[in-house]
Structure 1
Amino acid sequence: MAEQQKSIQEELSHPILLAERVIKSAQEGESFLAYCAQLAKQGPKVPHQPRGAPPGAPASASVYDRPLRRIAADVSKNLDRALTLVRKCKRQVFAIISIADHREVSSLLDSSADDVAWLLSIFDSESDGGGANLSLPPIASNDPTLASVWSYIAAVQINHHHRGRIDAANNLSSFARDNDWKKNMIVEEGGVPPLLRLLKEGASPESQIAAAGALVSLGNDPKRVKLIAREHAVAVILQVLGDSPIRVQIAVANLVANMAEMDSDVQEEFGKENVIRPLVMLLCVDIELDDTKLQSGNTSIHSLVQINKELSRNPLLNHTLHSNSSTSLHMKDKGIESPELKLDLRISCANALLKLSKGCLLNCRKITETKGLLCLAKLIEKEKEELQTNCLMALMELAAVAESSTELRRLAFKSSSPAAKAVLEQLLRVMNESTSPTLLIPVINSIGSLARTFPMKETRIIGPLITLLGHGNSNVGTEAAIALGKFVCQDHFNRVENAKAIINSDGIPRLMNILKANGRDQLREPVLLCYTRVLNMPEY
């Protein structure tokens, strides 16, 4: 910080020094005396401000230096040109000086004075509680958006009144929604650090929600998400998730989902920083779970030790994990939240876990090492609509990763695990009771991914899958055929028994109907693969 502040002071010192030289040289001019006198009068229009933070900037806030540096550099360039001109007048070099030169330099100095006045007005307007300064400085005459972005970012960073910071953050969010060019400008002009600071230290839930919304608007591109994460966003998010009102936690969970979906490196960073644990805890609030089922199967000793350490360090988390009362991680407002707000929180947390788990073994392990699987199963059982769908989709992503990870299958989806049993019960229930493709497709995909985890004695799966081959939605039938193909694939230890079950349940005619209806050219290969493998079993 000291080096950065010193650099800002140097940026300010140079134009001040040049202005003093212009005044002195203009006063000593020996030609074009009237014009030199005019330039000497214009010098003081470039204010001689203290070599530090501009007036109005609070001592606790770092100076927003992007417009300051740009304007200081432009002012220095114009003053340097004026100094060159008046020195020529002093040496009486008549041949290369014209009235037009003086007029042009005079115009440049006027523009520089206006730029400096605009810059100072930003800090003055924030210090007296006003909004962002939306006037247009000459330096931004060709790009009006730049002046607005500068003004809004400055307001987010240094405004003394949180209403002004909220408005500025919301305006940045609106700007960002317009197009990617504006998003890139906000990021390039240093808008991310002030927004993260507002999210972390906001004086009200509204200010934190506004900051989170602006960051979501910016984060629809992997490159920008990387830049947001580079500003220590993950650590800020972790803190806010555990120490904020529900409304803020909803906004931050949405931010997690957005960032995790955009970039796999950031997705994994969330896992390494353990953002998953508070998300699972918030998802589990008010859910009655048997404490003996806290872990999903044979969780590793290392994971148990880590959980115990966290609980011993933070009694609040311990209470949240084991309490069946209506308690969130932390409520600054201490109020009793509405059921609708709690539902929104669960929807957002389930969606965040869905995005975090997609294709990421590390995050899937962390979800299953908590009581995440049991909680997902319970919510699938009790809830409807968006929350139930999000939980099923999250489970589908967990199962997809487990399909390619022997370790995850063994630790989280072992058939004797209470969590795995609870998950299977809900998958079978939805498969038998629901007709909605939105629910059935993630259920079928989950069962197919977990095909190798089911023991020979588990006979409740093949029949419902065969029934779904005749579902009115062709995607459901195709996914059911793909799942059946995984039960008879070459590396499935029960493939012969599963093939017999498919045959005995009249699966072959149903598979043939799918082939006839869809045509071989349009049919996905796994459907045909299932059909041919069953037919080629020696027992058939």
Structure 2
Amino acid sequence: MAAAAAAAATATAAPEEERTIQEELSLPIILADRVSKSAQEAESSKFECSELAKQVDRLSQMLRTFVRLSTNSTSTFYDRPVRRICCDITKTLERALSLTRKCRHSGPLRHLFSITTTADFRKVSNLLESSIGDMRWLLSLFDSDGANLSLPPIASNDPILAWVWSYISTIHMGPLKDRVDAANELASLAKDNDRNKKMIVEEGGISPLLKLLKEGASPEAQIAAANTLYNIATDEERVRLIVDVMGIPIIVAVLGEAQMKVQIVVANLVARMAEMDSVAREEFVRENVTRKLVSLLSADLVLEVAKPQAAKTSIHSIVQMNKEMTDNKSMRNPKLLSVHTSSFSDGSSRGRKEREAESPEVKLKLQVSCAEALWKLSKGSLATSRKITETRGLLCLAKIIERESGDLQFNCLMTIMEITAVAESNADLRRAAFKTNSPAAKAVLDQLLRVIQEESSPKLQIPAIKSIGCLARTFPARETRIIGPLVDKLSNSNVEVAMEAANALGKFASPENFNGSEHSKAIIEFGGVPPLMKLLRSNDQAQVPGLVLLCYLALNAGNSKALEQARALNALEGAARSVVTQHPDLRELFAKAIHHLTLYQAGGHPHRQTFAL
């Protein structure tokens, strides 16, 4: 008895998270033995106690059988339902022990203070039957064919919990086919249902899914695991849990080594996690996922780099050369070095053969997924932007924007937009990646201008315009070919396009731009004032960016006849009060612009009383 008590005390003292399954089950086994012994010593309600003892003996045999099976199991054991069920069994056995102990004493006085009723025995008997049902379900996990979808009594009110337990257990211990099926079922449960996602995470589903992804037992298994993780990773908290269990190194390794159809879903997972959590974004960069994504994105591209020449080559000539070589793929120019991007990819010769055997549709899907991953990784990340610009990433993105269409072209445009947004606030990146003599930067600029001028979709034009605006401080005063296309978009029928054009031109004309005065004059020379005034009159949404641009033009070129003819002073005075009310940070800018225009406008007087802003 003393030994049993010591064992029970040891089991109780051990922290729950540190106990093995054998330690977890030791307490209910000891309690079962105590109940059986107490039932044998009963002086009253002997029949009820003997029936109770039979149930406890069945439960004890099941517990011991489970200990043997879990000890002999060669695969990783899933202990989450075991601990939960074991806790309930312990409470039930403690209640049974208390009941049988009341029946051990005889005598009128003892009987008075330990009254037991048939209802007490019925309640405990029902609890024991539920515990037996729970143990029967646990034992079935070892010999079931596929996931066991029967419901243990403990989960009778929540069948999803039992299914989650069964699927995760199958991923831990089942044969490969069953593991794939179980992972697919978890993916279905997690899709569009936050409660199920939370349950899968809480019940320990992330680690076995990562293990299934890492093992690479079959492409189907990896796809199933990656899809489930993708469906789970829909908020920052759950993405952070994947990061915390060292999931990112596994994901990056699989991205570089797996078959192409696996790489597609893994790239989607990278994009989802990067979009949801900034910590995951930085961890991916630390694991150098950018290099793998650029390699996969550009695997079928041949980027021609001209041999160095003594004479300077203009932006236009480089881009034109690339276009001509693209149109004449059958004719190789011996004077050019063909640099195939697979030279810096991670794939083996076997991987390249598999790639060549894949259909164009699969290759396109992979490129789309990789481009989206780069887009999400680049957002607000200086480290990712540097990684992309330090490889041949920019040149690759420019080539794809030139040749492709649809989602692939859009994702590449969005990637460039995010990189330029980071470069706008980081002078070092701006100078290093977008210097005027860089072939990659020139190729990107040419494609952005082409999209603005030739594409009709606002979905493509807007990121291209934003990118140009973010790079406004990199262009010299003599670079005027960019101003014209942006001025043209001020009169675009799509309001968002026109607003973005005004925003971009505002960055060119801004006092923060060293060449703001020259750019302002170029905007006016390209006829930017009339469409700007029309935009201000026709659309309330464009008021702020349009008026800010007008203020910059007034400050930099207040003596312009175009501003006077367009009655820019009246426009500013008429709109300033309402705008400044909502944007008080613009008060000083409006006051300076209005005062500056009064010096040049006909009838204006520097000492006239300006209205109170």
- Structure 2: runs of 5+ lacking an equivalent: 1-15, 308-338, 561-613
Matched, 1:322 2:343: yes
1:58 is displaced (CA, Å) by: 4.4
Corresponding letter in the other structure for 2:64: Q
Task: Specify the alignment match of 2:167 in structure 1.
Answer: 152
TM-score for the superposition, normalised by structure 1: 0.89
Contact 1:277–1:367 under 8 Å retained in 2: yes
Which 10-residue stretch deviates more, 94-103 or 328-337?
A: 328-337
Select 1:444's aligned residue among 456, 465, 476: 465
Which 10-residue stretch deviates more, 331-340 or 464-473?
A: 331-340
**After superposition, what is the alpha-carbon deviation per residue over 1:108-153, rounded to whole angstroms, capped at 9, x for unaligned?**
111101101101112221xxxx121111111111222111111111
Q: Secondary structure at the match of 2:207?
A: helix
1:272-311 to structure 2, matched below 5 A, reads 272-290=286-304
Matched, 1:74 2:95: no
1:321 is displaced (CA, Å) by: 4.0
1:52 is displaced (CA, Å) by: 4.7
Task: Specify the alignment match of 1:253 in structure 2.
Answer: 267
Task: Specify the alignment match of 1:490 in structure 2.
Answer: 511
- State the Cα RMSD in Å: 2.3
Q: Secondary structure at the match of 1:90?
A: coil
Contact 2:375–2:418 under 8 Å retained in 1: yes
Contact 2:293–2:374 under 8 Å retained in 1: yes
1:351 is displaced (CA, Å) by: 0.1
Corresponding letter in the other structure for 1:21: R
Matched, 1:470 2:491: yes
Task: Specify the alignment match of 1:7 in structure 2.
Answer: 20
Matched, 1:404 2:444: no
Task: Specify the alignment match of 2:408 in structure 1.
Answer: 387
1:44 is displaced (CA, Å) by: 2.2
1:202 is displaced (CA, Å) by: 3.6
Q: Secondary structure at the match of 1:506?
A: coil
Distance in 2 separating the partners of 1:105 and 1:386 = 63
Matched, 1:233 2:250: no
**After superposition, what is the alpha-carbon deviation per residue over 1:144-201, rounded to whole angstroms, capped at 9, x for unaligned?**
21111111111122112x2211111111111112421111111001111111111111
Contact 1:431–1:443 under 8 Å retained in 2: yes
Q: Secondary structure at the match of 1:285?
A: coil
Distance in 2 separating the partners of 1:23 and 1:396 = 74
- Structure 1: runs of 5+ lacking an equivalent: 294-317
Distance in 1 separating the partners of 2:264 and 2:434 = 29
Distance in 1 separating the partners of 2:350 and 2:243 = 24
What is the number of residues matched between the two proteins? Answer: 506
Select 1:131's aligned residue among 146, 157, 164: 146
Distance in 1 separating the partners of 2:68 and 2:525 = 82
Distance in 1 separating the partners of 2:490 and 2:424 = 22
Matched, 1:84 2:98: yes
Corresponding letter in the other structure for 1:151: S
Distance in 1 separating the partners of 2:210 and 2:249 = 10
Distance in 1 separating the partners of 2:441 and 2:511 = 24
Distance in 1 separating the partners of 2:150 and 2:65 = 24
Q: Secondary structure at the match of 2:556?
A: coil
Distance in 2 separating the partners of 1:199 and 1:332 = 23
Contact 1:245–1:332 under 8 Å retained in 2: no
Distance 1:17 1:327, change over 3 A: closer
Contact 1:244–1:332 under 8 Å retained in 2: no
Select 1:29's aligned residue among 23, 38, 42: 42
Stretches (4+) displaced over 3 A: 3-6, 50-58, 290-293, 318-321, 326-335
Distance in 1 separating the partners of 2:56 and 2:207 = 35
Matched, 1:94 2:111: yes
Corresponding letter in the other structure for 2:381: C
Distance in 2 separating the partners of 1:27 and 1:333 = 71
Select 1:480's aligned residue among 489, 497, 501: 501
Distance in 1 separating the partners of 2:483 and 2:350 = 42
Select 2:544's aligned residue among 525, 529, 533: 525
Task: Specify the alignment match of 1:105 in structure 2.
Answer: 124
Q: Secondary structure at the match of 2:477?
A: coil
Matched, 1:143 2:158: yes
Task: Specify the alignment match of 1:508 in structure 2.
Answer: 529
Q: Secondary structure at the match of 1:289?
A: strand
Distance in 2 separating the partners of 1:524 and 1:8 = 68
Distance 1:43 1:292, change over 3 A: farther
Corresponding letter in the other structure for 1:78: T
Contact 2:435–2:441 under 8 Å retained in 1: yes
Corresponding letter in the other structure for 1:203: A
Q: Secondary structure at the match of 2:351?
A: coil
Distance 1:131 1:292, change over 3 A: farther
Q: Secondary structure at the match of 1:209?
A: helix
Q: Secondary structure at the match of 1:286?
A: coil
Distance in 1 separating the partners of 2:185 and 2:272 = 20
1:99 is displaced (CA, Å) by: 1.5
Contact 2:302–2:341 under 8 Å retained in 1: no
Distance 1:282 1:156, change over 3 A: same
Contact 2:66–2:139 under 8 Å retained in 1: no
Corresponding letter in the other structure for 1:111: S
1:304-383 to structure 2, matched below 5 A, reads 321-322=342-343, 330=351, 336-383=357-404
Computing the radius of gyration over CA atoms, which structure comes out larger, 1 or 2?
A: 2
Distance in 2 separating the partners of 1:139 and 1:223 = 28
Matched, 1:117 2:136: yes
Aligned residues with identical type, % of pairs:
55
